[in-house]
Amino acid sequence: MTSMSRARAARRIAAGAAYGGGGIGLAGAATVGLLVAEMQLARRRVGNGPPVRVPNADGVYGGSPACGESPLRLTMLGDSTAAGQGVYRAGQTPGALLASGLSAVAERPVVLRSVAVTGARSDDLERQVSQVLADTGGLPDVCVIMVGANDVTNRMPATRSVRFLSTAVRRLRTAGAEVVVGTCPDLGTIEPVRQPLRWLARRASRQLAAAQTIGAVQQGGRTVSLGDLLGPEFAANPRELFGPDNYHPSAEGYATAAMAVLPTVCAALGLWPAEEERPDTSRREGFLPVARAAAEAASEAGTEVAAAMPSGPRGPWALLKRRRRRRMPETEPAPSGGPS
């Protein structure tokens, strides 16, 4: 699927999500039987490793709030990739890596809370957001949402998926939190998945990621495409970058993803140098219609999309950024009061 056709498909899905349509699926009807059969085979081959407890990474990173600066609050929402399934230590989860990195950039403590749930689809975001907004400990400064993979594997219509995500972003933004969405990863990179499911999974993943970008940006959030971010690394060394279940990332895989998301989290909070907020034409950054920006981001992992202008020649426009990844702190402080 070309960038332009992906942009058209993403626009249709986002419009269906906004206006109540629900019949646009993530795969054509003619391929559903094949997709289901291949997915059942893949599921027998994926996830056969030992069961892994998701570490509890909630806590304070980067020092004590008593040091004078009030802590920043970071909340993770979404599915198992947001929770950190596949690693054994709290400090290896994406939330802990982001909290440690954010603390280092902001030079102040970061309170991390995760409400992400293994196996969650986008329709669970309503419950997760309500949980966040009801927290008596205070509203988050920034929320990171990683969701979409289970929508693809469970064949949730893309319009419904995007509608749930858009509503979640709107509620969090209305409450005053910045929102960064890590869009649907490329399920075609999962090693045990064979053709033709690999091609179908990649197509459905990118289609959903582009539509998620439109929905999130229109509600005031920013997105970072996870896509095939780890594709080259998986191909070269899959045993290192996949966890023991051959499905979820390992510690090295989560660190790679966190390095891509951290700059956008910092930019959302106004912590990135002002000169880096201007588009760099040498890096093919610039202002584009939001659907085209979404399609380009879905094709290139690690790309950020943020709202720029509410209207333009072809509707809303967005800023597409290819931010330089920053290496995560070599040692992540253990969360206070929680396991490491």
Give the active site residues. 80, 245, 248
Q: Is 337 exposed, middle or buried (0-12, 13-18, 19+ CB in 10 A)?
A: exposed
Rounded to whole angstroms, the Cα distance separating 327 from 101 reads: 9
Rounded to whole angstroms, the Cα distance separating 79 from 69 reads: 31
Q: Which of 154, 158, 205 is nearest to 40 (CA)?
A: 154
Q: Is 139 exposed, middle or buried (0-12, 13-18, 19+ CB in 10 A)?
A: middle
> What sign has the CA pseudo-torsion 298, 304, 306, 308?
negative
**3-class DSSP state of 221:** coil
Cα 61 off chain centre by: 21
Cα 20 off chain centre by: 24
**3-class DSSP state of 298:** helix
**Alpha-carbon dihedral 243, 249, 254, 256, rounded to 10 degrees:** 110
Q: What is the DSSP letter of 336?
A: T
Q: Which of 250, 255, 254 is nearest to 87 (CA)?
A: 250
Distances (CA, A) of 83 to 57, 146, 224, 249, 254: 9, 9, 17, 11, 11
Rounded to whole angstroms, the Cα distance separating 285 from 279 reads: 5
Q: Which of 130, 292, 317, 298 is nearest to 218 (CA)?
A: 317
Q: Is 269 exposed, middle or buried (0-12, 13-18, 19+ CB in 10 A)?
A: middle
